[in-house]
Amino acid sequence: MKKTYQTHFNELRVTVVSIILLPFCLAAQDKGAKSSDSNTINTCVECHETLEMMPEGYSAGDIHQKSGISCSGCHGGDPTNYDKDESMSKKAGYIGLPKRQDIPAFCGRCHSHIDFMRTFRPRIATDQVDQYYQSVHGKKLAQGDKNVAECASCHSSHAIMPADDPRSTTHALNIPKTCKQCHSNGKLMDQYGIPHDQYDKYAASVHGKALLEKKDTGVATCNDCHGNHAATPPDAESVSNICGTCHLNNMNLFKSSQMAADFDIHSCQECHGNHDIQKPTDQMLNTASNEEAICLECHTAGDEGASTANTMYQDIQGVDSLYALAKTKLTASKTSGMNFSEIDYQIQQTRQNLIQMRTLIHSFDTSQVNAKSVEGIKIAREAIHLADLEIQEYHNRRWGFGVSVIALVILALAVYLKIRERNELVKNSR
């Protein structure tokens, strides 16, 4: 009942604040749109620039300003009136700076107005405020906690850009640093019993290196796992579903495995971690000779689980070693100038087979991995056989060329000697 009450309270709060502010919002929007016109006076900017009191981080590229909504669009007032008292009066619709706890509803005046938003960005969602109050941030704010993130904390106030703009605080490349502003603040996070090393761990992870170093915006970042406006810590039951949005096959194999059936708490982070996920290696399964094998964190060497892991490891290594040998022979074929197209195709098939094997380990079924191993070994050996034939053909051609050269040299020498003998006979006959 507590959750239901809280939900109704949040909805009622947003509705009441929106109704109160809506008339001011509409008037301000109209004035804000007018004030952004190049032919219309904007005393807000003129005065603040003259007094050197422009808001911190202000950018003329702000999406609201570019859409025709300037200062008065949010703060109200009359931007055409040079009289400070009149331009910033209640009669002129001046709102001023909203209280922190009112900011979601303040932004929601427009962003929850479907008809108004359709004018500017038809595809943008209009339920962000409702989502926000379902998040940990929103629930805490509704309880009076003024330290939690609200709209401006993530989007900024006067330099809001579309999420696909690299300058935006919510662009994929900038999300970790945006979240870092609060979540790397040890003093702040200690109040909630939350670690403050997530950013450092993420930056050193396989995902973080791909995003922050290689600029690969296709990899997971904070909001891909925790959500955006409805941000919340994923619990054990939802982790595999979250990871499965990218790693679909791994998730489906794990969910259908005996491991998932026997242990409800098991999920992706049990083996891979969360913020500090490293690139997985085959050695994670090597329970026979690698004391740091991930399986040994729960299993002991020689038990059923450890044996299963090591069996899969051996199958993968069997294919991987042949794959490495085939690549070496492919290089030799290329260097020799022989036909290598079919060899290359077979090697690519072997590589694909290895990928499938490393995916199948999430089934914890040795028979599935072994079946793929048998297939991979066959393909790799075929590639090696084709490469050996090409290399042998190369040597045969070189041997044949050498024999031909020797034969030609002998023939040339014989002709030379014959000509010399004839010349001697002619000389003696004279």
- 37 versus 112: which is more confidently predicted? 112
- Given this model, what pLDDT does residue 60 score? 85
Domain boundaries, the chain: 1-158, 172-279, 304-418
Token digits of residue 82: 């040079």
Q: What is the CA radius of gyration of the chain?
A: 36
Instruction: Flag the least confident range among 117-126, 186-195, 201-210, 403-412.
Output: 117-126
How many whole angstroms separate alpha carbon 100 and alpha carbon 265? 38
Residues 6 or more apart in contact with residue 325 via CB below 8 angstroms: 380, 384
What predicted TM-score, i.e. pTM, was given to this entire model?
0.78
How many whole angstroms separate alpha carbon 152 and alpha carbon 74? 13
- Given this model, what pLDDT does residue 345 score? 95
Mean pLDDT value of segment 368-383: 96
Phi, psi of 169 (to 5 degrees): -70, -15
Phi, psi of 144 (to 5 degrees): 100, 5
Mean pLDDT value of segment 248-268: 83
Question: Helix H segments across 51-172?
Answer: 63-66, 71-75, 84-87, 103-111, 114-120, 128-132, 136-142, 151-155
Residues 6 or more apart in contact with residue 324 via CB below 8 angstroms: none
Q: Is the dihedral of CA 203, 209, 215, 216 positive or negative?
A: negative
